[in-house]
Amino acid sequence: MDIGFFVTWFKDAAEQIRLRRDHLTELDAAIGDADHGVNLDRGFTEVCKALEDWPPTAPAQALLTAGTTLIRRVGGASGPLYGSAFRAMGKALQDPVTLPGFAAAFEAGVVAVQRLGKAAPGDKTMIDALAPASRALTAATQEGLTPYEAFHRAAVAAEEGSRATIPMRARKGRASYLGERSVGHEDPGAASSALILGALAGVAVKEATKEVD
Amino acid sequence: MVGIVLVSHSAGLAAETVALARSIAGADVPLAAAGGTADGGVGTSLDLVERAIRAADQGDGVLLIADLGSSVLTARLVTEPGRIVLADVPFVEGTIAAAVTAGAGAPLEQVLAAADEARGFRKLAD
């Protein structure tokens, strides 16, 4: 996993978020303030621009640039949350990047989100997608799976975690003001986390195909 | 004097709360508003928060008071123990209590304690 891997991850995540922007905003319209898709689209577009304007010299730097850009450019809660996650990942990531190293850095990112947002699993937040993804990644690493298999499992875990937020009652964020009315809607933050993990699995497929070529 | 920065989703709410606090606590209390996004939308801007901290900082510390969600998260990102602290208080009541105490020349921990007291203040208690 070199610098190019991480830059492609952010580009593909930006693309996924752009394509699903209206869907994320619809989810947020149900239980939030209907700006999640727009905010994240703008933030990840700025991330891609920042990575072009200041080409990173190490994978960790790509993560730090992305995190700082999201914190500065996204006006909603997802900016500080995703921004802190990527920055914590960047600070924890060792070069050269191995799968166990990535899994440990990802875990550090999830811990940073939990610490900043003070959310726990079951609160109907992005943690409900990120925490299972992190566990899947660590387990896959211990089983000695390839990056592609590990990232695929993490993406599936994030997707399942996101769907599992539908029956939950929100205890954090704007949705918590709705109380019972938040039940029955997928959490937009968990949904965008699943998209970002999906992009990660997609990049790993590209890398695996490249090796076969 | 301790500075006070109001972090809100709304530029109007932050600015009007600063104006209200000044009218009660006095014009020399260093209060600064960081409301809305940099382009005038609803949300929080780290750039505006940092600018407001610079404007309110006289060297005696800065108390941050935030309204909801991303305001709290963004404010938490810029805290520095003992120098820039975030109060967990109602936006208006906490601001007035902090501004009056800061205006009396109290140190940062006393300004924070005054804001904290505002959280338990009952409006309709006997």
pLDDT in tens, A110-151: 999 999 999 999 999 999 999 999 999 999 999 999 999 999
What's the CA gap between B58 and B3, in Å, rounded? Answer: 7
Cross-chain CB nearest to B44 (options A75, A84, A174): A75
Q: Tell me, what's the pLDDT at A173?
A: 80
Tell me the catalytic residues of B: 9
CATH number of A3-208: 1.25.40.340
CA closest to A81 among chain B residues: B73
For domain B3-119, which CATH number applies: 3.40.980.10, 3.40.50.510, 3.30.70.890, 3.40.50.300?
3.40.50.510
B95 touches chain A (CB under 8 A): no
Angle at B36 between CA B33 and CA B37, to 5 degrees: 120
**Which distant-in-sequence residues (6+ apart) come within 8 Å of B125 by Cβ?**
none
Phi first, then psi: what are they for B105, rounded to 5°?
A: 85, 15
pLDDT digits (tens, 9 = 90+) for B53-109: 999 999 999 999 999 888 999 999 999 999 999 999 999 999 999 999 999 999 999
CA closest to A71 among chain B residues: B46
Average pLDDT, chain B: 95
As for the ipTM of the complex, it is 0.75
Residue type, A111: V
